Amino acid sequence: MSLLRHLPPVRRRVPLRLRAAKPLQDAFPGYAVQACGSGTQALALAIRAAVGARGSSAEILLPAYGCPDLVAACLFAGAQARLVDNTPGQWGYDLDRLHAAFSSNTAAVVAVNLLGSGDQAHRLRELTRARGVALIQDSAQHLPQVLPADWQGDYVVLSFGRGKPLNLLGGGLLLQPAGGPDPLPARGQWDPPLFGAGLAFNIATDRRVYALSSRLLGARLGETRYKPLREISTASPARVARVAAGIADYRLAPGYDASVWNEACREWAQYGVTRLSCAGVADPGPLRLRLALLARDHAQRDTIVTALTASGIGASRMYNASLPALPDVPEQITAQGPFRNADELAQRLFTLPTHSQVGADAVRVARDALRRILR
């Protein structure tokens, strides 16, 4: 059996021995940096700062398709989550619907960079400035290699959990332009051990053992469910130093390259399987956490993912539903909608791995599998 046949959807090895690095602040000149226990915690801090004195009436505009942690951060921060549909057949807000969603209670818009495809931040910056509300850039799924990046937000959120561009098994950063209000306080200190858990993760996600480890971890591996946020903790000085060292390593070699799929994508486009683009955003380049693709319809998407999974290619349906349809989300979310474009995106979207274990052999297997479906 070929070793390529067990590719995990996302894999960046946890760095077990990190080189010495400059202070974390040096990677983000011009920004105040707050390190905490997760990207969700960092997002909750940003939302709480944006809400300010508005209290529980404050609304945060979120995409109707996305990670349920977006909702968890809003509710922890004491704000209301108001969902907005995406552009048909693309990632990003439908700007007409976004305009209509603004109200006197709107405190912030969250711009989510889905897997490195873009987040409309330049356009949203114009809208939020005109409305006098905050722009929060959720870049949990995309860490630029060149830092600081051309961020437009009043707040920027980064994440270092499992499945994120820089995998430190947890942790997050809140960035805000220097000179703004002081970062909000958090409780407790977060500094879990890294070596043993990192070694276990690296072994479990190696393609030589991933098929076995994924079966042992059970059917819920990778399942998307809502989980409430319980606390916000401050990262310890030791953990902050690890983040700084991890970022230094990442800037030398991110370990993700979607261009390995370019030739296959040109072939698949002839049969209606296309790359997911972000509305109004130019091609952001090959640094993608996963390559996001759109099948023609739900049935074709599921057939493709089933075939690629059987071939050992780490395909994923991502969230597989819009936010109101995800398991365990609160009633205030399930009561919103309908969001037809988000529902369609959830039914058509699938992703392919772009990490360093994806090579020409994996692409060949995927192309052979899709030829049997698309032709």
Q: Give the pLDDT band (50/70/90) at residue 2.
A: very low
Q: Mean of the pLDDT values across residues 175-194? A: 64
Mean pLDDT (the chain) is 90
Half-sphere exposure of 195 (CA within 13 A, CB side): 2
What pLDDT, in 10s, does the model give residues 275-317? Answer: 999 999 988 899 999 999 999 999 999 999 999 999 999 999 9
Q: Mean of the pLDDT values across residues 120-144? A: 97
Q: Mean of the pLDDT values across residues 222-235? A: 88
Q: Mean of the pLDDT values across residues 205-229? A: 67
Q: Give the pLDDT band (50/70/90) at residue 226.
A: very high
Q: Give the pLDDT band (50/70/90) at residue 178.
A: confident
* Residue 323, C-beta contacts closer than 8 angstroms, at least 6 positions apart: 62, 63, 64, 65, 66, 68, 70, 71, 83, 329, 333, 342
Q: Mean of the pLDDT values across residues 253-272? A: 96
Count of Cβ atoms closer than 10 Å to residue 322 Cβ: 28
Nearest to 279 by CA among 156, 117, 98: 117
In this prediction, residue 3 carries a pLDDT of: 39
Q: Is residue 215 scored above 90 in pLDDT?
A: no
Q: Note the Cα 158 to chain centre separation in Å.
A: 9
What pLDDT, in 10s, does the model give residues 147-166? Answer: 989 999 999 999 999 899 99
The torsion angles phi and psi of 312, rounded to 5 degrees, stand at: 85, 10
Q: Is residue 169 scored above 60 in pLDDT?
A: yes
Q: Give the pLDDT band (50/70/90) at residue 26.
A: very high
Q: Give the pLDDT band (50/70/90) at residue 188.
A: low
Q: Is residue 210 scored above 80 in pLDDT?
A: no
What pLDDT, in 10s, does the model give residues 338-351? Answer: 999 999 999 999 99
Q: Is residue 46 scored above 60 in pLDDT?
A: yes
Q: Mean of the pLDDT values across residues 105-110? A: 97
Q: Mean of the pLDDT values across residues 318-337? A: 96
Q: Give the pLDDT band (50/70/90) at residue 132.
A: very high
Of 209 and 307, the one with more pLDDT = 307
In this prediction, residue 16 carries a pLDDT of: 78
Of 156 and 216, the one with more pLDDT = 156
Of 48 and 53, the one with more pLDDT = 48
Q: Is residue 219 scored above 50 in pLDDT?
A: no
Residue type, 32: A
**How far is Cα 366 from Cα 261, in angstroms, rounded to an integer?**
10
* Residue 119, C-beta contacts closer than 8 angstroms, at least 6 positions apart: 92, 111, 112, 113, 137, 138, 139, 278, 281
**How many percent of the chain have pLDDT more than 70?**
90
Q: Mean of the pLDDT values across residues 14-33? A: 85
Q: Give the pLDDT band (50/70/90) at residue 218.
A: very low
Q: Give the pLDDT band (50/70/90) at residue 14.
A: confident
The torsion angles phi and psi of 36, rounded to 5 degrees, stand at: -140, -170
Half-sphere exposure of 299 (CA within 13 A, CB side): 2
Q: Mean of the pLDDT values across residues 188-203? A: 69
Domains, the chain, in order of start with CATH, read: 8-252 (3.40.640.10), 258-374 (3.90.1150.10)
ω before 148 within 30° of 0 (cis)?
yes
Q: Is residue 61 scored above 80 in pLDDT?
A: yes
The answer to whether residues 111 and 136 touch, using CB atoms and an 8 Å cutoff, is: yes
Q: Mean of the pLDDT values across residues 199-203? A: 74
**How far is Cα 325 from Cα 169, in angstroms, rounded to an integer?**
28
Q: Give the pLDDT band (50/70/90) at residue 224.
A: confident
Query: 138: exposed, middle or buried (C-beta count within 10 Å: 0-12, 13-18, 19+)?
Result: buried
